[in-house]
Amino acid sequence: MSFAKAVVVGVGAEDGLGAAISRCYAANGHHVMVAGRTLEKVEKVAATIRRNGGRASAHAVDTTQEEDVIRLFDAAMADDADGAPADLVTYNAGKNMKIDFRQMDASTFEDFWRMNTLGGFLVGREAARRFAPLGRGSVLFTGATGSLRGMPGFAQFAASKAGLRMISQSMAREFGPQGIHVAHVIVDGAIDGERVRSLFPGAFEQLGENGMLNTSAIAEVYWQLYCQHPSAWTQELDVRPFKEQF
């Protein structure tokens, strides 16, 4: 039996969104290429999937480096022991931090752009290059509240995430008619994981039950997008806790 590959770029801690998306894809029959900057972290995620009966491999990738992304897609599109060529790609890499606008230097602004925007472009471009000749494939991007509006102290984040949103829209209009489903998921709220809990101690207690986004619940939305019939594709959707103001 040949399993199609799924590529998840931007995987970190096991309780993070990238790991949850990886587990979801594996549970639904894909061989998941778990990709992130730190090999130790992505190997932990891949190993957990394998222990639970799924198929996964770990890949150390810096999405801001063109050669890394090309190498990842060369492996993704090979018909080999890991599975059939990929038909699903998710770009979940991102960087966020509150910074006083007056104190931000140009290199910091560029760092955010490279991670949140350039990396998305490189992954999206390679996916389009490989999927378009085949006339199929899904490319999903993780967005944020900052994709829609800039908040005080987050100009660098909002600018870069808004840029990623425009990449998604442009790709959808260009490659949708060629059979490629491109979608953008706006995650509007705090994600319940190690990152938020460490940066904002007490957030869970303050927001209460279901006040933060559950990673497995978000991951299921990505899978639903992949399963959509081409006559009813979604280009953009938002997910948020029922308590979140918007």
Per-residue model confidence as pLDDT tens digits over 7-50: 999 999 999 999 999 999 999 999 999 999 999 999 999 999 99
% of the chain beyond a pLDDT of 90: 86
Structural domain spans, the chain: 4-239
Inform me whether the pLDDT recorded for 1 exceeds 60.
no
pLDDT of residue 200: 67
Inform me whether the pLDDT recorded for 215 exceeds 90.
yes
pLDDT of residue 199: 65
Average pLDDT for 135-161: 97
Q: Cα torsion at 228, 239, 170, 126 (round to 10°)?
A: -70
CATH superfamily for 4-239 is NAD(P)-binding Rossmann-like Domain (3.40.50.720)
Average pLDDT for 94-120: 96
* CA distance linking residue 145 with residue 244, whole number of Å: 11
Confidence tier at 4 by pLDDT (50, 70, 90): very high
* CA distance linking residue 29 with residue 37, whole number of Å: 25
Average pLDDT for 57-85: 97
Residue partners of 209: CB distance under 8 A and separation at least 6: none
Average pLDDT for 132-154: 97
Sign of CA dihedral 163, 144, 38, 180: negative
Inform me whether the pLDDT recorded for 132 exceeds 90.
yes
pLDDT of residue 2: 65
Inform me whether the pLDDT recorded for 120 exceeds 60.
yes
